[in-house]
Structure 1
Amino acid sequence: MSSLRSQQFPTALAVAERTADAVADAVRRTVAERGGCVVALTGGNTPTDAYRLLAGRDVPWHAVHVVQTDDRVLPEAETGSNWRMITETLLDPAGVPRERRHPMPVRSGDPAGAAAVYAELLTSLSPGGSADVVLLQLGPDGHLASLFADRYDPADPAGVTVTTTVDGAVRMTQTLPLLSAAATRIVMATGTGKTEAVAKVAGATPDTLATRTFLAGDGLLLLDAEAAGPNP
């Protein structure tokens, strides 16, 4: 993994601690430099402890816009499951102002139109629409956000698009160019269920896998000993 910037920790909790510190540091630095910051967050199980820890960090949330990397389109739900988790573990405990919270519009009969609206929102928050800080988790098959192998355009200029999983679930996601343009890019990987995915990412070239493209350059992969496997 020499060509990939990564840090390994003994436990998943240690990864969560490092993630919370890295995000908090990046936000404080960006706010100090520019007066504001946009943070794009993922859902899933891996980042929940990091969000709880981040809620207790000294972060100027009044100057931060929180957006989503991706979520499932559920017309019957008011908000997506990823956003609910982010709200419960981070936004509410940290007291992030309501006007600074920007969930994806997954409750829509026109997902593609809603994706375009969200892309416009992102552009209104930062030049080009890209967040300053993006936090993602590594999927068990090596994917990130809702960019699944052979089911996304690596050069998609839309900013936000609609994709489907192999089983047909509809997802809304930021595109790879937008995610990869963030100054601070972090991917978390914990547990034995991610060992094969970590090896896949480490052996990929930047143009063959979304996660590798996202991490290219100074992106940071944070993993525990179980995810790293016997030969990290």
Structure 2
Amino acid sequence: MANRLPPPAHKQPVFHAHANAADWATAAAQAIASRLQQDLNLAPEVLLLLSGGSTPAPVYRQLAAQPLDWSRVVISLVDERLVAPGSDGNNAALLVQAVVDTPAEAARIWPLVIAGSSLAACVSQANARLTAAALPISTVVFGMGSDTHTASLFPRAPGLAAAFESQQSYVAIDASGCVGAGHYPLRISLTPSAWSRASARFLLITGAGKRRVYQRALAEHDAFAHPVRSAIYGGNSALHVHWCP
């Protein structure tokens, strides 16, 4: 992952610029739904992995309204903070809110945090459940912080190299000292090993500032300084980036 050489042409990301937030949310939701439908045509059930935060919420609301057979979709998370389920900062709560009173309410949601459990126990349970279910990972949806972190992989954080090299789907992250982690240093994060197995990967960003951050990550070939590069290039197909001003 620390390779400073540019990736091959077939892995170059596809950048979709939209005129406004409404067009962005609609186009991204339809693109994700299309990928899910393609994979549902091939498998009884599929896994959709979503990132938290406020930025993707409009996309998720439109995605949840798409006419898919949601009973065959399992929704889980790209990362989670070690906070009580349903509390402030809990990403799973965002997913629940997004699907209420929509067709996607028929989907199963897999939270990553178990109330009262340690970080290690939550990671172990998440990995065991994913292994036992043996579901194909259809789609992974990423966000990106202004520090170029994605999932809960922060620039030069302790354990970042181990996360890049792990063959597990999820790892424990202690992001103490990383500004982008805010008040939630203890986290669970999906690994590049897991998202490299996905049929499709999407990155959702908005604003001129995030576009500049993204372009900087592309230009500087160091995934330890810019972890989002592991999402951009960590798969067998091109990442699709959806952006609006």
Same fold, TM-score > 0.5, yes or no: yes
1:202 corresponds, among 218, 226, 231, to 218
2:147 corresponds, among 141, 152, 156, to 141
The 8 Å contact of residues 86 and 93 in structure 2, kept in 1 or not, is answered as no
Aligned to 2:109: 101
The 8 Å contact of residues 80 and 112 in structure 2, kept in 1 or not, is answered as yes
Deviation of residue 195 (structure 1)?
3.1
The reply to whether residue 213 of structure 1 matches residue 233 of structure 2 is no
> Aligned partners of 1:180, 1:108: CA distance in 2, in Å?
31
The reply to whether residue 170 of structure 1 matches residue 186 of structure 2 is yes
Aligned to 2:196: 180
Residues 14-51 of structure 1: per-residue CA shift (max 9 Å, x gap): 22111101111011110111222110111101110001
Aligned to 1:81: 90
The reply to whether residue 223 of structure 1 matches residue 223 of structure 2 is no
The 8 Å contact of residues 116 and 158 in structure 1, kept in 2 or not, is answered as no
**Secondary structure class of the residue paired with 1:62:** helix
Q: How does 1:33-182 map to 2 (within 5 A)?
A: 33-74=42-83, 76-78=84-86, 81-90=90-99, 92-97=101-106, 100-126=108-134, 131-151=137-157, 152=160, 153-165=163-175, 166=178, 169-182=185-198
The aligned amino acid for 1:192 is: A
Aligned to 2:4: none
Deviation of residue 103 (structure 1)?
0.8
**Secondary structure class of the residue paired with 1:150:** coil
> Aligned partners of 1:218, 1:188: CA distance in 2, in Å?
14
Matched residue count: 220
> Aligned partners of 1:106, 1:10: CA distance in 2, in Å?
40
The 8 Å contact of residues 204 and 212 in structure 1, kept in 2 or not, is answered as no
The reply to whether residue 190 of structure 1 matches residue 200 of structure 2 is no
The aligned amino acid for 1:215 is: I
Compared with structure 1, are the counterparts of its residues 160 and 185 closer, same or farther at alpha carbon in structure 2 (3 Å cutoff)?
same
Gaps of 5+ in 2: 1-8
Question: Which consecutive aligned stretches of 4+ in structure 1 deviate over 6 angstroms post-superposition?
Answer: none
Residues 115-172 of structure 1: per-residue CA shift (max 9 Å, x gap): 0110111122336xx6221011121111111111112231122221121331562111
The aligned amino acid for 1:187 is: L
Residues 189-213 of structure 1: per-residue CA shift (max 9 Å, x gap): 1023413321222213375543222
Deviation of residue 96 (structure 1)?
2.8
Compared with structure 1, are the counterparts of its residues 59 and 91 closer, same or farther at alpha carbon in structure 2 (3 Å cutoff)?
farther
| TM-score between the two structures when normalised by the length of structure 1 | 0.85
Gaps of 5+ in 1: 227-232
> Aligned partners of 1:92, 1:210: CA distance in 2, in Å?
36
Compared with structure 1, are the counterparts of its residues 71 and 42 closer, same or farther at alpha carbon in structure 2 (3 Å cutoff)?
same
The aligned amino acid for 2:118 is: D
| TM-score between the two structures when normalised by the length of structure 2 | 0.81
**Secondary structure class of the residue paired with 2:142:** strand
Question: Does 48-57 or 82-91 show the bigger shift?
Answer: 82-91
The reply to whether residue 9 of structure 1 matches residue 18 of structure 2 is yes
Compared with structure 1, are the counterparts of its residues 8 and 144 closer, same or farther at alpha carbon in structure 2 (3 Å cutoff)?
same
The 8 Å contact of residues 115 and 162 in structure 1, kept in 2 or not, is answered as yes
The 8 Å contact of residues 106 and 172 in structure 1, kept in 2 or not, is answered as no
**Secondary structure class of the residue paired with 1:18:** helix
The aligned amino acid for 1:162 is: A
**What is the identity percentage for the equivalent residue pairs of Structure 1 and Structure 2?**
20
> Aligned partners of 1:61, 1:51: CA distance in 2, in Å?
14
Q: What is the alpha-carbon root mean square deviation over aligned residues? A: 2.2
1:24 corresponds, among 33, 38, 41, to 33
**Secondary structure class of the residue paired with 2:167:** coil
The 8 Å contact of residues 85 and 92 in structure 2, kept in 1 or not, is answered as no
